[in-house]
Structure 1
């Protein structure tokens, strides 16, 4: 087998539930290692990516040597040592962005801002051929210009040429049915073939994916009494047939019903009749009436929730807050047809997650995992730029992966912390 016929190796330093990782895998990488601080998210990641080694730890306390040791263990566990040369092709990740967010206060001295420099530190220590760092567009604002300038200087001193001008990409321009703008910083090790930003669809004939493309086939959750207390249900053959009758080309790819020549992810074993991540939200009669009277695309005046428009992309889905910020569930859009907010599965469709991908059983964790993720389709086009620069002929994956044990999708924080032997502060 020639050297160029291989799957390159990548590391995700801020993995969350794995949206960025999935897109990079779809581009053709083996995401060998994922680091995630939150034990609940780390458990969900491990469920969906059984071929990756997961480290549940604070990135600020990890060294490059720690990561290289874990990579060596991964190589042995997955029998990759015979054709992996020990070099890292890509380090990627999206450091927590609340300190830069245009929704928040954008504090330059927010402690979370330091995590972008921990990302830079590990890139220096690991010396991958390429790196990709994702963040909110607020990092480009004047208030944070000194942070971005310092960060870029440190990458250049570490031996990386940055792709300039730096860009903010909108997921809606790359096949995602959601208007979601994100900043990406791309770096190439000096001596390697430089990478470019992907070109958005700008032709006059371009039609963005819409809410209808993403979720019109999904049944109304309120028709299933079981979904008041569980997040999944087995559809009958007739119900599955009705779903497939309304399925768009976009969804056919997400459900594996249509070949996708740009998708090099490992296929997963899953049950297409199982509707998952779909626990109901119980609304008051008054709320239901207000939702009914809200036109598509408009804000409901009392809740300030926006009703989705069938014929347009979704607005940016938000994540809500973590434990340290009050554990608030994110504002969820109102379904364009039904008088209720959307489900986690519907949000996942709007984010370009395939239907086999599972999230935590609770709405709070589930929406955090979707809302914090890089849409896989957007991540894929960025990963594909690096594959092109590496000039690798990708093998078509033939190994089908078994997903993990569904019990981890219901872990409380305490159970997840014990599962990973996480630091004591997670119990407080």
Structure 2
């Protein structure tokens, strides 16, 4: 069993579930994200609270964990203070959340832990912070892999260039897990000659080719779903995300959903001038006015980012341009490029939907890491025949006030979005 700290919409939860773990408790401060998480994992517990304000006792008592031993605690503390595109201030107060991650791991006493963060933590003076983290664990009964690594999602079957730091640790009476070996190689990778035996990473078009063109559905101007959509012929990658074929060693619970339904696909209204600019931009290049990147169908996606929250300016991160239609990609298309299966749904707004994806770890990358822990535990997970219901769809339409009320928390726990 596992615990997810800083859970967001649930990318890491899903990856660990796919590897064979039951993620019995997840902690997330944002009520909107909690509601989305609950919709996709209604059979486990989501605690809508800050890690600063919770304890191991509360996590155990408010979930079905009780006094049982926990296999692994994982999570990615918000990391803007280390971001390569931020100022990377060493004493950024946002980085104090990492200390609370450590505190909860030591309180919960799992057999293993995984800490995920941005690549920027490994650069310059921030390496000192990694040393502090490792020392805190090693002084409290844990050991940590000293050869920490940056993993690129594109080497684990995800059609996106996304590099993240992973720290792996365990109690002193356990064996440290290894880092997962790459299973795919991105097109035109510098490592191609070294990894010629690996299969190619799915391309952008492998991910998108069977999805219905949203501009053919007028109703998607007002809502984010349509029944009985006209899906095309999928790639092998698309078949897996649609649930038409099984993913290798995927032990997640099957969800009850209609595969003919297109979800998370609210259209974006672009003016004629923008559409002309998008159309004239070559694939694989950046449109000079908007600075949006136009996806190349035979390449992989650039890193999908979340943008900034309300208290940091409420900026929407640039969304890629579709490779063939002069528009930005939809939330569902971003989800495909992030390795989320089609049954997984996001908040109905593009604002929250893209932030939920951009803030999350691609499930297939999380699955690769979690599978290494499964190997050390030396258990053989099984695929259960249980088909789980998804949650109530009202969870996906909550605004902040309704979501906060649903979880009985202050509606200003996340500062409201400032609109210009």
TM-score band by shorter chain is over 0.9
Instruction: Find the aligned partners of 2:411 and 2:400 in 1 and give their Cα distance.
Output: 11
Residues 212 and 310 of structure 1 are in contact (CA less than 8 Å); yes or no, is this contact kept in structure 2? yes
Partner residue, 2:135: 153
The offset of 1:289, in angstroms, is 0.3
1:423 aligns with 2:410: yes
Instruction: Find the aligned partners of 2:127 and 2:263 in 1 and give their Cα distance.
Output: 42
1:184 aligns with 2:176: no
The offset of 1:161, in angstroms, is 1.1
2:204 to 208, 211, 217: 211
The offset of 1:370, in angstroms, is 0.4
Residues 264 and 397 of structure 1 are in contact (CA less than 8 Å); yes or no, is this contact kept in structure 2? yes
Partner residue, 1:283: 270
Instruction: Find the aligned partners of 1:63 and 1:21 in 2 and give their Cα distance.
Output: 20
Instruction: Find the aligned partners of 1:345 and 1:300 in 2 and give their Cα distance.
Output: 22
1:329 aligns with 2:320: no
The offset of 1:259, in angstroms, is 2.1
Structure 2, unpaired ranges of 5+: 184-193
The offset of 1:209, in angstroms, is 1.5
Partner residue, 1:193: 175
Residues 400 and 411 of structure 2 are in contact (CA less than 8 Å); yes or no, is this contact kept in structure 1? no
Partner residue, 1:13: 5
Residues 328 and 364 of structure 1 are in contact (CA less than 8 Å); yes or no, is this contact kept in structure 2? no
- Partner SS state of residue 34, structure 1: strand
1:250 to 237, 247, 251: 237
- Runs of 4+ in structure 1 deviating by more than 2 angstroms, as ranges, are 423-428
Instruction: Find the aligned partners of 1:95 and 1:193 in 2 and give their Cα distance.
Output: 25
The offset of 1:342, in angstroms, is 0.3
Deviations 1:217-256 (A, max 9, x none): 11211111111110001125xx24xx2xx20111111111
Instruction: Find the aligned partners of 2:118 and 2:389 in 1 and give their Cα distance.
Output: 34
Instruction: Find the aligned partners of 1:86 and 1:282 in 2 and give their Cα distance.
Output: 51
Instruction: Find the aligned partners of 2:238 and 2:13 in 1 and give their Cα distance.
Output: 20
The offset of 1:410, in angstroms, is 0.8
Partner residue, 1:224: 217
1:119 to 98, 101, 104: 101
1:273 to 246, 260, 263: 260
1:318 aligns with 2:305: yes
The offset of 1:302, in angstroms, is 0.5
Residues 177 and 350 of structure 1 are in contact (CA less than 8 Å); yes or no, is this contact kept in structure 2? yes
Instruction: Find the aligned partners of 2:242 and 2:359 in 1 and give their Cα distance.
Output: 22
Partner residue, 1:22: 14
Partner residue, 2:366: 379
Partner residue, 2:117: 135
Over aligned residue pairs, what C-alpha RMSD do you find? 1.3
The offset of 1:424, in angstroms, is 4.9
Aligned pair count?
404
The offset of 1:208, in angstroms, is 1.7
Instruction: Find the aligned partners of 2:76 and 2:169 in 1 and give their Cα distance.
Output: 14
Instruction: Find the aligned partners of 1:390 and 1:346 in 2 and give their Cα distance.
Output: 36
Instruction: Find the aligned partners of 1:182 and 1:211 in 2 and give their Cα distance.
Output: 20
Instruction: Find the aligned partners of 1:116 and 1:140 in 2 and give their Cα distance.
Output: 15
Instruction: Find the aligned partners of 2:411 and 2:320 in 1 and give their Cα distance.
Output: 36
- Partner SS state of residue 26, structure 1: helix
- Partner SS state of residue 170, structure 2: strand
Instruction: Find the aligned partners of 2:380 and 2:146 in 1 and give their Cα distance.
Output: 27
Instruction: Find the aligned partners of 2:60 and 2:139 in 1 and give their Cα distance.
Output: 22
The offset of 1:164, in angstroms, is 2.6
Deviations 1:241-300 (A, max 9, x none): xx2xx2011111111111234100000000111100000000010000000100000010
2:52 to 57, 60, 75: 60
1:50 aligns with 2:37: no
Instruction: Find the aligned partners of 2:142 and 2:83 in 1 and give their Cα distance.
Output: 26
Residues 401 and 411 of structure 2 are in contact (CA less than 8 Å); yes or no, is this contact kept in structure 1? no
Change (3 A) 1:353 1:424: closer
Instruction: Find the aligned partners of 1:261 and 1:334 in 2 and give their Cα distance.
Output: 30
Partner residue, 2:354: 367
Structure 1, unpaired ranges of 5+: 1-8, 76-80
| TM-score, scaled relative to structure 1 | 0.92
Moved more, 192-201 or 305-314: 192-201
Residues 64 and 122 of structure 1 are in contact (CA less than 8 Å); yes or no, is this contact kept in structure 2? yes
The offset of 1:385, in angstroms, is 0.4
| TM-score, scaled relative to structure 2 | 0.94
Residues 221 and 268 of structure 2 are in contact (CA less than 8 Å); yes or no, is this contact kept in structure 1? yes
The offset of 1:141, in angstroms, is 1.1
Residues 77 and 117 of structure 2 are in contact (CA less than 8 Å); yes or no, is this contact kept in structure 1? yes
The offset of 1:327, in angstroms, is 2.1
Residues 212 and 311 of structure 1 are in contact (CA less than 8 Å); yes or no, is this contact kept in structure 2? yes
